[in-house]
Amino acid sequence: MKRQRSRRQPQRTQWPDSLLRGLRAGKLRIPALKLRPGLNFSQLREGLRRLSPEQYQALSAGLQRQVQQPPAVSVRRQRATGDALLASQIARLRCLPAHPEAVLLDAAGRDRFGRQHWLQPVARRAWESMRDAAKADGISLELVSSFRSVIDQNRILARKLRHGQSLQDILRVNAPPGYSEHHTGCAIDLAVPGEPVLTEAFEGSPAFAWLLRHASRFGFRLSYPRNNPFGFVYEPWHWCYRTAAPEPPDVN
């Protein structure tokens, strides 16, 4: 007797209205699907049916206020150029962990340049709680970088190569596509309002001293300290949310 194949994820038509409303309003994103804001609920449900089982599970985790664990996939549509192959070889030699793209993203506000930032929902809540706690202590934190797709990471490397930088120098500052923590939607780059961004001078700010004392309470860790084992330059501005806590800490 043949085994009947089970229908894949029959509950996919029962998406929470909050998810559909967020997608429709442009406050939530599912990068893998490229859903446009303004679609009606039927169109959104039809788009959501295109999720793979692994993507569906990661999205479900995101809706349950957990860190998503996207499926480990190869770098999508990366051209097999000599530079791309060399970047992958360097990543392996430096034992860089692969970081697949987040499935569900939440709008995390705009920065001084007017750019919209996106984070996993649980990371966005933790970031806002940490920002508000710092503000209560007289410290201003500004978000200047967040989610970045594999395609965008490719563009950064290609632009720097066109400007004459060597690949080895680029990869001390930027991770190879597929290996950046920014793909996960849990990494944030921080700055002090009005000050230069992404410079080592951030280490001397009261904001950095505050982060060293308090960031771990909110689930954030400094990813690339001095002499880090991954071969990246020291990045006092780069922090990543790692703790899958049900709720960010209460800051009241």
Does one domain contain both 224 and 120? yes
Does one domain contain both 172 and 101? yes
Does one domain contain both 59 and 87? no
- Which residue stretches of the chain have pLDDT < 70? 1-13, 72-82, 244-252
Contact assessment for residue 191 and residue 202, using Cβ atoms and an 8 Å cutoff: yes
Does one domain contain both 109 and 183? yes
Domain annotation covers residue 196 = yes
Does one domain contain both 49 and 146? no
Q: Which helix (H) or strand (E) holds 108?
A: strand 105-110
Does one domain contain both 102 and 46? no
Does one domain contain both 45 and 88? no
Residue 108's nearest CA partner among 143, 141, 140 is 143
Count of the separate structural domains present in the chain: 2
pTM score, two decimals? 0.87
Report the phi/psi class of residue 157: left, alpha or beta, with left for phi > 0 and alpha for psi in -120 to 50.
alpha
Domain annotation covers residue 2 = no
Residue 95's nearest CA partner among 249, 213, 235, 232 is 232
Does one domain contain both 96 and 188? yes
Q: Beta 187-191 vs 105-110: how paired, if at all? A: unpaired
Q: Tell me: the pLDDT tens digits for 19-39?
A: 999 999 999 999 999 999 999
Give the ranges where 141-205 is alpha helix by DSSP (H): 150-162, 167-170
What's the chain's average pLDDT?
88
Torsional sign, CA 218, 219, 223, 226? positive
Does one domain contain both 32 and 91? no
Q: Tell me: the pLDDT tens digits for 241-252?
A: 997 444 444 433
- Supply the range of the domain harboring residue 59: 15-63
Domain annotation covers residue 201 = yes
Domain annotation covers residue 188 = yes
Single-letter code of the amino acid located at 222: L
